[in-house]
Amino acid sequence: MTGASGHLGANLVRRLLADGHEVRALVRPSGPAARTAVEALAGLPVRRTVGDVRDPAAVAAAVEGCEGVYHCAARVSTAARGHRDIHAVNVLGTRNVLEAARRHGVRRVVVTGSFSATGPTPGRASTERDPHYPFGAHTPYTRSKVLVEHECCKAAAQGLDVVVAVSTAIIGPHDYVPSRMGRVLLDFAHGRLLAYIPGGFEFVSVQDLVQGHLLAMERGLSGHKYLLSTEFRTVDQMMNLYARATGRPKPRLRIPAPAMGVLARLAEGPRSVLTPHREARFTPAAVRFLRSERRADCSLSREVLGYRPTDITTAVEQAYRCFADRGLLERRGAAKPAPRPAGRRARGAGAVPR
């Protein structure tokens, strides 16, 4: 596995171990990712191989002898900068993993994809058949994930058994980095989230995403991709779930998305100078994602993989409890159950995608 210290990876490792698999994880030799891996994998019987996905030799050494590979590592960002590093990690790193898997006779590779690489379809939910529209305003991350799918298609054409499991916006426990949605929950719990914007997106419980990856390894068709989402939620609905989990009221200030988009663009320049290594909560791209209110049609995953998503309410409660257990926020009593929306396709706003 690559990306074992990430939000998906940390949960997938635990599930694989619980299912009786031996797991080998490629972990970074130094830096923040290496420090995160220490906590994410602490006490787990995982064989660690030190290396970087950008190093073909290190990847080959990690893959050799493995029956299957889960490639979950990625540089995730909604910022407009950092394109060279994003390309090196996401595109060239994926190429290294796929070439190593083909060279060492790996049975199957499951690569984590991004919903942002699937084409937008105004008026209806997107499916796996909807191609990416290349002429829009895309982030370097989105462009890189399109190229990741291209690398997978090339590898499949060359005979490698590879499947793409497409993630939407992840929420749930064992979020050690933490993720964008995890940071929002922590900010909410500490009273630092002073405002939010309307919008919406498809969210996936990390447990559902793990199950989807396992099903893709077992039942997916080589060269195909499968969308994995739990349900669409509005930002207002997510704020209500966070309020119930933390015991805090949701922010009163609800900034119109167009105004927030202007503010995000104006702040980009100064932020890149003053805090170049810290990504903003709401970049212009993040605002666009929320305003798009994109929907995902997971019918293919249900029919071919047998994918059965659960609910986001439980995922939020699990994320809150996990942060509390790690001492990152104060436990405010048992989270109260939240009512589900009237329908999965309710109108409104949601979350920033993976």
Please check the confidence at residue 343 and state whether its pLDDT lies above 60. no
Q: Which pLDDT belongs to residue 139? A: 86
* Mean of the per-residue pLDDT values of the chain: 88
226: domain CATH number is 3.40.50.720
Task: List pLDDT tens digits, range 219-270.
Answer: 999 999 999 999 999 999 999 999 999 999 999 999 886 676 666 566 666 6
Q: Which pLDDT belongs to residue 265? A: 64
**246/81: higher pLDDT:** 246
In a domain, 320, yes or no: no
Of the residues 141, 176, 196, 226, only one is catalytic, namely 141
Please check the confidence at residue 341 and state whether its pLDDT lies above 50. no
In a domain, 84, yes or no: yes
Instruction: Please state whether 99 falls in left (phi above 0), alpha (psi between -120 and 50) or beta.
Output: alpha
Task: List pLDDT tens digits, range 20-64.
Answer: 999 999 999 888 888 899 999 999 999 999 999 999 999 999 999
Q: Is 141 a catalytic residue?
A: yes
Domain that holds residue 39: 7-180+204-232
In a domain, 89, yes or no: yes
310-348 burial: b if 16+ Cβ within 10 Å, else e: eebbbbbbbbbebbbeeeebeeeeebeebeebeeeeeeb
* Domains held by the chain: number: 1
Give the Cα separation of 338 and 314 in Å (integer): 9
In a domain, 342, yes or no: no
In a domain, 350, yes or no: no
Q: What pTM did the predictor assign? A: 0.88
222-255 burial: b if 16+ Cβ within 10 Å, else e: ebbbbbbbbbbbbbbbbbbbbbbbbeeebbeeeb
Q: Which pLDDT belongs to residue 34? A: 85
Q: In DSSP terms, which residues pair with 296 in a beta bridge? A: 126
Among 71, 87, 195, which residue's Cα sits nearest to residue 141? 87
Among 231, 204, 182, 225, which residue's Cα sits nearest to residue 343? 231
In a domain, 258, yes or no: no
Please check the confidence at residue 275 and state whether its pLDDT lies above 60. no
In a domain, 147, yes or no: yes
In a domain, 247, yes or no: no
